[in-house]
Amino acid sequence: MESKSSSAAFRAFCSQHGLAATHQRQILFEVVQEMEGHPSPEEIYARVRRRIPSISLATVYKNLHLFVESGIVGEVSLHHGSLRIETNRTAHHHLVCRGCKSITDLDEKSFRLEMEHDHISAAFQVERYSIEVVGLCPACKKE
Amino acid sequence: MESKSSSAAFRAFCSQHGLAATHQRQILFEVVQEMEGHPSPEEIYARVRRRIPSISLATVYKNLHLFVESGIVGEVSLHHGSLRIETNRTAHHHLVCRGCKSITDLDEKSFRLEMEHDHISAAFQVERYSIEVVGLCPACKKE
DNA sequence: TGACAGACGATAATAGTTATCTTCTAATAG
DNA sequence: CTATTAGAAGATAACTATTATCGTCTGTCA
Ligand SMILES: [Mn+2]
Ligand SMILES: [Mn+2]
Ligand SMILES: [Zn+2]
Ligand SMILES: [Zn+2]
């Protein structure tokens, strides 16, 4: 029944997004949901291969993108593909478009942040914090 | 005199960090400081090449890393090399070590954030925000 | 004015990701 | 229960980003 409800959730997900309910897709769906932390595509691929040794890495990437688009999984900060240098050395934050990945500076004074340091291990040496406001820019909104 | 003071700043920077004051390093130093926004290494390389056509991309990368380490430039969110999937769908934030790049979840309730939406163009459709607390984990602190 | 550590350039190697193309299969109309 | 077909999977080539290697060169300092 665990597998039954999980399978039902998967089928619901697929029909909502107009996707075929394939075996590979289902295993990936299950594996991603049972993994903890912030795995890379390679790590997910390694796990899925234990259940479908013949699966292709490309299939994993393609479906992860679909899952991210559908919101069933997220992305730990937006992946820009390459290193981005910050030349503005004043304290500030960012507005990031998840469509075109454009980055806009936001003045620090637009935010008032209170942090309860108690929740962060005293052994961790905090140097700074940054806030990313994520969404869609005007151009990407009308895709 | 502009070049003189900038050159003095560069020399001070190099001696503080035990680096040789080379021509390539100086041009890169200047170019990075006059660029705006959040350029990629390739974009910086293109700019530096206008002044030193023979410079190598590897030199640009090596020096950008040195500049980031020294804090003279920053990084727009930490670069993890690959996409990282977020499997935790509850609202939360992250503690990130700039040494080993480990990512730890932080409960949303550890923060109280007030945003002045007025400062964000109404045309930008905000979907979520995430806070990254950056620093050094215990293991990396004693490098 | 050397000696030499460290910097540079060229380029090979590796990692991450995407594109292409062929084969296969889930969905579904008959 | 077939036959049809759009979309999915697999194999793999291609590409982009980044790092490593290594021979040569040069800034630094005695
Ligand atoms: Mn910025
Ligand atoms: Mn997380
Ligand atoms: Zn956009
Ligand atoms: Zn660390």
Look at residue B116 in the predicted model and tell me its pLDDT.
Answer: 84
DSSP assignment string, B70-83: HTSSEESS---SS-
Minimum-distance CB partner of B103 among A76, A95, A103: A76
The pLDDT assigned to A6 comes to 75
What is the full per-residue pLDDT of chain B (143 aa) written as tens digits? 445 577 999 999 999 999 999 999 999 999 999 999 999 999 999 999 999 999 999 999 999 999 999 999 999 999 999 999 999 999 999 999 999 999 999 999 989 998 887 778 889 999 999 999 999 999 998 87
Q: Is the CB of B70 inside 8 Å of chain A's CB atoms?
A: no
Decide which of 3.30.420.40, 1.10.357.10, 1.10.10.10, 1.20.210.10 is the CATH code for B4-84.
Answer: 1.10.10.10
C1'-nearest nucleotide to the CA of A60: D9
Residues with CB under 7 A from strand C: A 14, 20-23, 40-42, 57-58, 61, 65, 79, 81; B 19-20, 22, 24-25, 52, 54-59, 62-63, 81-83
What's residue A44's pLDDT? 98
Q: How many CB atoms lie within 10 A of CB B121?
A: 13
Residue A50 CA from chain centroid, whole number: 23
Neighboring chain A residues of B38 at a CB cutoff of 8 Å: 84-87, 103
Quote the pLDDT of residue B1. Answer: 43
pLDDT score at A2: 43
pTM (predicted TM-score): 0.92
Q: Is B55 on the interface with A (CB under 8 A)?
A: no
Report yes or no: A83 and A45 within 8 Å, Cβ to Cβ.
no
Helix A41-51 to helix A57-70 angle (10° resolution) is 110
Nearest CA in chain B to A102: B38
Q: What is the pLDDT of residue A73?
A: 97
CATH classification (class only), B90-142: alpha beta
3-state secondary structure of B41: helix
Task: Measure the CA–CA gap between A85 and B34, rounded to whole angstroms.
Answer: 12
Q: Among residues A75, A60, A53, A57, which one has the least CA distance to residue A25? A: A60
SS (H, E, C) chain A: CHHHHHHHHHHHHHHHCCCCCCHHHHHHHHHHHHCCCCCCHHHHHHHHHHHCCCCCHHHHHHHHHHHHHHCCCEECCCCCCCCCEECCCCCEEEEEECCCCCEEEEEHHHEEEEECHHHCCCCCEEEEEEEEEEEECHHHHCC
Q: Which nucleotides of D are covered by protein (CB under 7 A)?
A: 7-13, 16-21, 26-28
Helices (H), B1-143: 2-16, 23-34, 41-51, 57-70, 138-141
A109 Cβ contact list (under 8 Å, min separation 6):
none
Calculate helix-pair angle for A23-34, A2-16, nearest 10 degrees: 110
Closest alpha carbon to A87 in B10, B64, B80: B64
Give the pLDDT of residue B2.
45
Rounded CA-CA distance B97/A125 in Å is 9
Closest residue (CA to C1') to nucleotide D6 in the complex:
A20
Which stretches in chain A have pLDDT values below 70? Answer: 1-5
Q: What are the boundaries of each domain within chain B?
A: 4-84, 90-142
